[in-house]
A and B are shown apart, each in its own frame.
Chain A
Amino acid sequence: MMPDFDQEGKGETQAWRPDLSAPAVLLEGVSKSYGRIFALSNITMALNGGVTGVLGMNGAGKSTMFKLLMGKLKPSQGKVRLFGTDPWKNPAPYARVGFVPEHEKMYDWMTAHQFVSTFARLNGLTRAEAMLEADRVLNFVGLADVAHKKIGQYSKGMRQRAKIAHALVNDPELIILDEPLQGCDPLARTTIMNVIRELGRMGRTVIVSSHILQEIERITEQIVILHNGRLLALGNLHAIREKLDQIPHRITIEADDAKALAKDVIDMDEVYGISFPDNKNLSIQTHNLGAIHAQLPAAIVNNGHRIHTIDNPDDDLASILGYLTSGGGL
């Protein structure tokens, strides 16, 4: 019998076999408390596939949840599972996970290529393999041309992308990004959003956190809302929006003649109140944001009003949270 000459690269021993039936992320009744303060309380959810946005104000518990998932924190109560394994006890599932921490501090003395390839070797890659892998992921996040510059010379957006590249080594099935857009300029923001969407299209499970609704909206429709450590909502952003359309809303319009504009607006069915915060501004109260936005342009143009801004001061995370926490529910 001929000996098997092609053994190279066909490892039989594998320290850890993934549980293929388990969801990527599973939290069951998870709480995390520091003394009497609950950073997370009784979170239950399972995520598998697609891009999920985790929304919450600063201190809502987003980072705490991610650190629990990455086995950096130990849950006070409940069960955390990463591919069916307890990440606090077993680092093996990290082979399938990429993590972008929120911390801004990086190894400024390294080049992005050194940074990515050094830690790629912790996945068991050889030096040469790690170099190729670093080339691949840095190219993916659009840092190929500056890969051999020191991280210390990078802009905020480039640093975030280097962190994402670090997380993408070994082609993980689950990528967790903690505030990846924070502090980035618009161009970097767009690039990073494209990278995240691309990962979603590639079939990866992506969890990305932000405190800005508009950012998450541009990335995904599937969202999780955290507030004061509690899970407020989990579902499709559109469903949440529709509910929001039924709750009291304000539209603020800055116009040359706010009083004249008010006369034309007051006749609309959906407007139930008007006020003037100051001479230039008109504030409209409504239950149906969508209907007002549909009629407003005609009312302005037909009557020849000159306006400067139209703003929905409530249409942000704070108002959603305000509504959800005031007992509205979804």
Chain B
Amino acid sequence: MMEAKPNTIYRALDRKAAAITEFTMRQYRTKASTWVVLGVGLVAISLVMLIYVDVMSTGFESIDNDGDSEDPDGDGYPTGQENKYGTDPYMATSNPGLLTPSIEPEPASNYIDEDGFDISISGTAATQSTGYDDDGDCRESDRTNSQKDTNGNGIVCDIELRYNQYQGDWNIDSDRYVDEDPDDAAYAAEATHMAFVLGIGKMGFVLLLGMFLPLFLATGLIREEMNDGTMHFMLAKPIARTEVFLYRILGYLGIVWPYFIAIGLLFALISGFIGPSDSFFRFQDLGVWLAIIFATMMASFVYGMLFCALGTMWRFGIVLAIPFAAWELGMCIVSMGAPEAAILRFSVIGWALMIVDAAAVIVWPNMELFILQGRTMDDFGLIWSTSNALNFFYSEPGVGGSGLVSAVVATVILLVQGAVFWFVGGAIFKGKEIE
């Protein structure tokens, strides 16, 4: 016989790992059920993507928040223009056309969204005063300084950001006529885009793909072989069962990880081109997308170990996996509303979503103020509703510390969870009698 070359025990381990991993991947490829599960996952998540594409391409209708685009006296001059020249917007015989030199009427659209948003998601909240009076109606020269500084912070025509240390959030207080008619469409597009990225990332990728793919693909990794009797072919060789367990999982990851990466990058590209941006592509979002892909990979790794262990434990392991999946779904919802809840520490999804949250905090550092600015509109319109949607999907990482620290902590804990489930699954498998 040929002389094998297991010069070190590690090299022999590599060979076994590669053999079973390759075998498992090929086995997946030959099963129709694999393609059905992957296909259904792709279709489901693509439907959400289509909704996003539809919303973004339809666009958002702007609202004239301060009503100065209207022309109540019917003289052809919008209120904003009449205000600017000091004529009476309610009297047709008083309009800028009668001044010398005569002023041509401006289109009403000039007075919609004429005062843009000044709190940007990529800026910082370090300065307590921000804002700029884009249309100049606060800085009118005939106004007194006290009229220009209605928030009383000593700076005229600004927005004051006051940190409330008791409530742990920000108060936004702007001077009158500063940002009084913000750009709804721009805010809504930005907020909707970010809410979509976070929403599809958390619910679509981490929860739906990250959990349901392992549910259908990993539960039978060991169990099906035991039922069929084909496990004897593998276990008749000098290999420990815990090793078989691990390498089968590696084979499973070899199928689902490339799938996640491919779909994640595809979605990052689509949303990057479609999303609102100054340049042709939203490069800043890539960080969040990479975190979403990574979190999905980690979740599928931990769930794979767990579901495979449950399948090994009991012939109907999927029955045990379903209540767990329901628990994780609940935890996913909890993490959106209360990311600091202690109960989340006893879930997998809580930690996986923390990776996404951490990336969002790093990439969009001013998100809290951005959301707050929209929510203080109190008009229950476009800004308010998109801001609420964004607020639902965005949460600060619950462990405190910086985004990077949270991401590292969450990753380490997920790895530990996966390792624990591996040991448990391996121990269960070791104790199983195989008929």
Cβ of A105 < 8 Å from any Cβ of B? yes
B341 at the interface (CB under 8 A from A): no
Q: What are the 3 A-B residue pairs with the smallest beta carbon separation, nearest first?
A: A103-B229, A121-B19, A122-B237
Binding site for A on B (CB under 8 A): 1-9, 11-12, 15-16, 18-20, 22-23, 26-27, 30, 228-230, 232-241, 433-435
Q: Which residues of B contact A115 (CB under 8 A)?
A: 233
The 29 sampled A-B contact pairs (Cβ below 8 Å) are A10-B7, A11-B6, A11-B7, A13-B9, A15-B12, A16-B238, A67-B435, A70-B236, A71-B235, A73-B433, A91-B239, A97-B236, A98-B236, A99-B232, A99-B236, A103-B228, A105-B229, A106-B233, A119-B233, A119-B234, A121-B16, A121-B18, A122-B19, A122-B20, A122-B239, A123-B4, A123-B237, A124-B6, A124-B11
Q: Is the CB of A72 within 8 A of B15?
A: no
Rounded to whole angstroms, the CA-CA distance of A29 and B424 in the bound complex is 32
In the complex, how many angstroms separate the beta carbon of B237 from the nearest chain A beta carbon? 4
What is the distance, in angstroms, from A165's C-beta to the closest C-beta of chain B? Answer: 11
Per-residue 0/1 for A14-47: is the Cβ within 8 Å of any B Cβ (1 yes, 0 no)?
0110000000000000000000000000000000
Q: How many residue pairs at the A-B interface have CB separations less than 8 Å?
A: 128
Separation of A109 and B3 alpha carbons in the complex (Å): 30
Assuming the contacts A95-B238, A103-B232, asked whether A126 and B27 have C-beta atoms less than 8 A apart, the reply is: no
| Contact of B237 (CB < 8 Å), options: A72, A102, A119, A126 | A119
Residues of A within 8 A of B228 (CB): 103, 105
CB atoms of A171 and B1 under 8 A apart: yes
B1 with A170: CB separation less than 8 A = yes
Of the candidates A74, A122, A163, the one whose C-beta lies within 8 Å of that of B234 is A122
Q: Which residues of B contact A126 (CB under 8 A)?
A: 4-5, 15
Q: Are B240 and A91 in contact (CB under 8 A)?
A: yes
CB-defined interface of A142-177 with B at 8 Å, one 1/0 digit per residue? Answer: 000000000000000000000100110011000000
Q: Is the CB of A101 within 8 A of B237?
A: no
Asked whether, in the complex, the Cβ of B15 is within 8 Å of the Cβ of A11, the reply is no
A234 beta carbon closer than 8 Å to chain B? no
Shortest C-beta distance, B225 to chain A (Å), equals: 10
CA A15 to CA B27, docked complex, whole Å? 30
Closest residue of chain A to B231 (Cβ to Cβ) is A72
- Check if B9 sits within 8 Å of A15, measured CB to CB: yes
Which residues from B are CB-within-8-Å of A11? 5-8
Chain A residues whose CB sits within 8 angstroms of the CB of B230 once the complex forms: 103, 105-107
Say yes or no for A125: interface residue by CB 8 A criterion: yes
A269 part of interface (Cβ distance < 8 Å): no
Q: Do the beta carbons of B18 and A74 come within 8 Å of each other? A: no
**Is A182 close to B, CB under 8 A?**
no
A330 lies within 8 A of chain B by Cβ: no
Q: Could you list 7 further interchain pairs (A-B, Cβ under 8 angstroms) beyond the known A9-B3, A109-B27?
A: A9-B5, A10-B7, A15-B12, A102-B229, A107-B27, A124-B6, A166-B233
Per-residue contact bits, chain A 168-199, to B (CB 8 Å; 1 contact, 0 not): 00110000000000000000000000000000
Q: Measured between C-beta atoms, what is the minimum distance from A30 to chain B in Å?
A: 14
Q: How far is the CB of A158 from chain B (nearest CB, A)?
A: 16
Is A285 at the interface (CB under 8 A from chain B)?
A: no
Query: Shortest beta-carbon distance, A120 to chain B, in Å?
Result: 8
Please report the C-alpha to C-alpha distance between residue A105 and residue B6 in the assembled complex, in whole angstroms.
Answer: 31
Contact B236 A121 (CB under 8 A): no
Nearest A residue (CB) for B18: A121
Closest to B29 in A: A109
Complex contacts, A94 vs chain B, CB 8 Å:
235-239
- Cα A71 to Cα B6 with chains together (Å): 24
Contacts of B7 in A (CB 8 A): 8-11, 13
The chain B residue with its CB closest to the CB of A10 is B7
**Residue in B15, B232, B235, B240 whose Cβ sees the most chain A Cβ within 10 Å:** B232
Point out the residue from B6, B12, B434 that lies within 8 Å of A67, measured CB to CB.
Answer: B434
Q: Contact: B434 with A73, CB < 8 Å?
A: yes
Residues of B with C-beta under 8 A to A171? 1
User: Which chain B positions have C-beta within 8 A of A98?
Assistant: 236
Whose C-beta in chain B lies nearest to the C-beta of A130?
B19
Query: Which residues of chain A are near B5, meaning CB under 8 Å?
Result: 8-9, 11, 126, 129
CA distance in complex: A8, B1 (Å): 17
- Across the interface, A125 reaches (CB within 8 A) one of B4, B9, B22, B236, namely B4
How distant is B173 from chain A, measured CB to nearest CB, in Å? 69
With both beta carbons as reference points, the residue of chain B lying nearest to A101 in the complex is identified as: B232
Q: Which residue of B lies closest to A94 (CB)?
A: B238
- The answer to whether A119 touches B19 (Cβ under 8 A) is yes
Q: Which residues of chain A are within 8 angstroms of B235 by Cβ–Cβ distance?
A: 70-72, 91, 94
A300 in contact (CB, < 8 A): no
Residues from chain B with a CB closer than 8 A to the CB of A97 are 236
Find the B residue at minimum CB distance from A123.
Answer: B237
**CB-nearest residue of chain A to B8:** A13
